[in-house]
Amino acid sequence: MTSPLLRFLAKRLLHTAVVLLGVLVVVFALLQLVPGDPVRVALGTRFTQESYDALREASGLDRPLLVQFFAYIGNALTGNLGVSFRSGEPVTLILLDRLPATVSLALAGIAIALLIAFPLGTWAALRRGSAADGGIRAVSQFGVSVPDFWLGLLLIIVFSTMLGLLPPSGYVPFTEDPWGWLQRVILPGLAVGVVSGSIMTRYVRSAVLDVVGSNYVRTARSKGLPRRTVVGRHVLRNALVPILTVAGVQAATMLGGLIVIEVVFAWPGLGRLVFDAVAARDYPVVQGTVLLIALMFLLINLLVDILYAVVDPRIRVS
């Protein structure tokens, strides 16, 4: 098991490196097509010809495009993602500062999504064709159709403005104030979690339905095993593989799709960072953020592939 697993990990890590290189190339090329002079935008009212020339030289933008590209690739491979045009800080430090906020919001969102999807999807599948099944499918369809930013605004109006129960915005690190962090993460977590949970509910229902009709489940029932044992030991365990796939995709998508939610809730994460960086033509920050999100996306997919073999021993990495 060990040798095939190591070969599998080596192949996937090589695949991850190739995809990241492709992301670097695409992002660099696309940013060259964006209109406007990033140095002029970064200087703003501080513009003078001397400061303009100095910043262009310091950022390497006065060099040929091909030279800029290879310099960026070389620096990125050593962990140097450049310096922000606006603040002058290293991009790596900026990303590390914003990363915990985005990760905590994504974890809250995926936890809420799983809490919604597992019980509702399983309940609907085990009562296929009933009124409960129809109601859950209708609610999940509504949840899929609702834009997360609209749901976020609705939650702010109800729970912050009208009821005054939770703060409408802001972020407190968990390590400094766990209760304050929980109060502030509930609403944005619900906004992204309800939408993802609605999508996953439909997949959980479908996966459980596929397993419920299997011969081994009928055999387990014919042996007189309790319903709870049949569902927990035979149905859910064997339905986990397709559910893991969807959960991984949703978690990865959530990391890259938090831009609007972080703007709505003034959440100082990577989404808010890339939103501000695009507006300011801060190319190094945009490139670094996209690269980091792509890396997290690939690592989550790698983790899901490894979990396949853990959840279902019949699956072998070879």
Residue 160 has pLDDT above 70, yes or no: yes
Residue 72 has pLDDT above 60, yes or no: yes
- Residue 83 DSSP one-character state: B
Residue 2 has pLDDT above 60, yes or no: no
Q: Is residue 221 part of a domain?
A: yes
Q: Which of 62-66, 261-265, 293-297 has the lowest mean pLDDT?
A: 62-66
Indicate the number of domains in the chain.
Answer: 1
Q: Output phi, psi for 90, to 5 deg.
A: -60, 135
* Amino acid identity for residue 14 in this structure: L
Average pLDDT over residues 233-261: 77
Q: Is residue 253 part of a domain?
A: yes
Residue 63 has pLDDT above 70, yes or no: yes
Considering the chain, what is the average pLDDT of its residues?
A: 83
Q: Give the structural domain span for 135.
A: 105-267
Q: What is the pLDDT of residue 230?
A: 79
Residue 242 has pLDDT above 80, yes or no: no
Render pLDDT for 264-296 as a digit per residue (tens, 0 to 9).
898 888 888 888 888 777 888 888 888 888 888
Q: Is residue 214 part of a domain?
A: yes
Nearest to 301 by CA among 98, 2, 106, 15: 15
Residue 39 is encoded by which pair of tokens?
């140095």
Q: Predicted confidence band at 61 (pLDDT cuts at 50, 70, 90)?
A: confident
Q: Is 90 left (phi over 0), alpha (psi -120 to 50) or beta?
A: beta
Residue 318 has pLDDT above 60, yes or no: no
For the four alpha carbons of 258, 274, 178 and 252, in that order, the dihedral sign comes to positive
Q: Is residue 143 part of a domain?
A: yes
Q: Can you give the CATH number for the domain in which 151 is found?
A: 1.10.3720.10
Average pLDDT over residues 70-84: 82
Nearest to 237 by CA among 137, 118, 128: 118
Render pLDDT for 179-193 as a digit per residue (tens, 0 to 9).
989 999 999 999 988
Average pLDDT over residues 7-32: 81
Q: Is residue 216 part of a domain?
A: yes
Q: Is residue 3 part of a domain?
A: no
Q: What is the pLDDT of residue 208?
A: 85
Q: What is the pLDDT of residue 115?
A: 92
Q: Is residue 249 part of a domain?
A: yes
Q: What is the dihedral of CA 182, 185, 190, 195, to 10 degrees?
A: -140
